Amino acid sequence: MILRLDRTKVNQLNLITLKQNTYGLKGEITVPGDKSISHRSIMFGSIAKGKTRVTNFLLGDDCLSTISCFRKLGVLIEQNEEEVVIHGKGTEGLQEPKEILDVGNSGTTIRLLAGILSGLHFHSTLIGDSSIGKRPMTRVVTPLREMGAKIDGREDGKYTPLSVRGGDLQSITYRLPVASAQVKSAILFAGLNADGVTKVIEPVATRDHTERMIERFGGEISRQGNEIYVTGGQKLTGTDIHVPGDISSAAFFLVAGCIVPNSYITLKNVGLNPTRTGILEVLQNMGATMEFQKNDADIFEPTATITVSTSDLKGTTIGGNIIPKLIDEIPIIALLATQADGVTIIKDAHELKVKETNRIDTVVSELKKLGADIQATDDGMIIKGGKKLTGAKVDSHGDHRIGMMLAIASQICEGELILENANAIAVSYPSFFLHLNNLAV
């Protein structure tokens, strides 16, 4: 079993063999820092004035890409295993980069950064890996152009590489065509630099880490129903941020705890922001045995310790407004559903098609290889539960969440599971195999 999937060892780990766990997963782990919040801590720390100290920062590849981009923009960022310290000088402290800004695999980095760069009077070029090259950028390019930024890119700004020449921005009122926290956040970042009040209308509430962080850095933002208002020209001040554990990473072990026989897992420091807890509602509806111990002290982002144990599960239907609250957890929910009694229907999740991979296709194709009864639909999938899974050669397709879902599947598969492109897991959970190993008894 691999002990650590870090950046130095990543290339040797492209193919790994995992075996069924017949004893159960037992013990306690502290899940790594939240990816969405880690990205934003660097971004706000960089545009604020003064020092920002971030603890429990996620040292995954995506967040390291964000640090690298802001360093290229002239921000002094110190980073070690314990903390990240950002020496912000305000937006006026950001400098025209001499190099291309490479976001790697990170959609959050490119879309939010485009929003920040739109309000700065210089030129920059943004690229990413082959997955980023397939992901839609029009969703941010359209509103940012409307605010006054000059953005170009392949196929008129549909895809990367993107070039941004920022300028004087006008505030806008923008109704999001898709429920996306990345698009909302890009507009809010641009709005902080625009003339007047920018209003964003969400079709469905999405994660609100950007809004919480504006307040944390001393800024003002307000919400009325599904409308969010931010005034341009605000000055933000550096602060201390303790990043809560990522519920999207915890999800893999929450599901493992439910489906691997004889398991009892305690997950410490899990972020419980209500815009992210859809997975817990689904687990509860399906009959999972969980206990919660909330940490009262957390106001900025609530957290709790969660204990989960092997459970009898039943199928469910997941769709509508809950989708943005669990969009990243759908791959692992699909695995959960293969072990439930009855049928699970996942619908209204078209957005899965434009994630790190087309997650309707990759979830369905890889789980089918393990013998699951799963069918793709136009906006989700239908899973008939209760089937025993068997080992096979499967592929993460370079998608961290597909890789982790398959690694958890290996724990219940009869026979060996060979996982190709396991290195993708380092994007959001470099210590994933260490934790899996620690829980295996």
Given the rule CB under 6 A, which residues bind ligand S3P? 36, 108, 180-182, 185, 207, 327-328, 351
Tell me, letter by letter, the H, E, C secondary structure of 170-182. ECCEEECCCCCHH
Q: Is 355 annotated as a binding residue?
A: yes
In our burial notation (b when 16+ CB lie closer than 10 A, e otherwise), range 325-354 reads bbbbbbbbbbbbbbbbeebbebbbbebbeb
Cis before residue 161, ω within 30 degrees of 0? yes
Backbone CA torsion sign across 270, 301, 289, 366: negative
Q: Is 36 annotated as a binding residue?
A: yes
Which lies closer to ligand S3P via its Cβ, residue 185 or residue 198? 185
Which lies closer to ligand S3P via its Cβ, residue 160 or residue 311? 160
State the nearest-atom distance from the C-beta of 288 to ligand S3P, in Å: 23
State the nearest-atom distance from the C-beta of 182 to ligand S3P, in Å: 3
- Do the strands 150-153 and 159-165 form a parallel or antiparallel pair, or are they unpaired? antiparallel
- Tokens, residue 76: 């002094």
Which lies closer to ligand S3P via its Cβ, residue 329 or residue 395? 329
Contact predicate 262/24, CB 8 Å: yes
Which lies closer to ligand S3P via its Cβ, residue 305 or residue 358? 358
Q: Is 171 annotated as a binding residue?
A: no
Q: Is 223 annotated as a binding residue?
A: no
State the nearest-atom distance from the C-beta of 180 to ligand S3P, in Å: 3
Which lies closer to ligand S3P via its Cβ, residue 203 or residue 371? 203
State the nearest-atom distance from the C-beta of 76 to ligand S3P, in Å: 24
- Tokens, residue 343: 């049928």
Max Cα distance, the chain (Å): 62
Q: Is 40 annotated as a binding residue?
A: yes
Rounded CA-CA distance 152/144 in Å is 11
3-class DSSP assignment, residue 265: strand
State the nearest-atom distance from the C-beta of 207 to ligand S3P, in Å: 6
Q: Is 93 annotated as a binding residue?
A: no
Spot the catalytic one: 34, 62, 328, 399: 328
361 classed as catalytic:
no
Which region, left, alpha or beta, applies to residue 359 given φ > 0 means left and ψ of -120 to 50 means alpha? alpha
Binding residues for phosphoenolpyruvate: 35, 107, 135, 182, 359, 401
Binding residues for 3-phosphoshikimate: 35-36, 40, 180, 182, 328, 355
Binding residues: 35-36, 40, 107, 135, 180, 182, 328, 355, 359, 401
Active site residues: 328
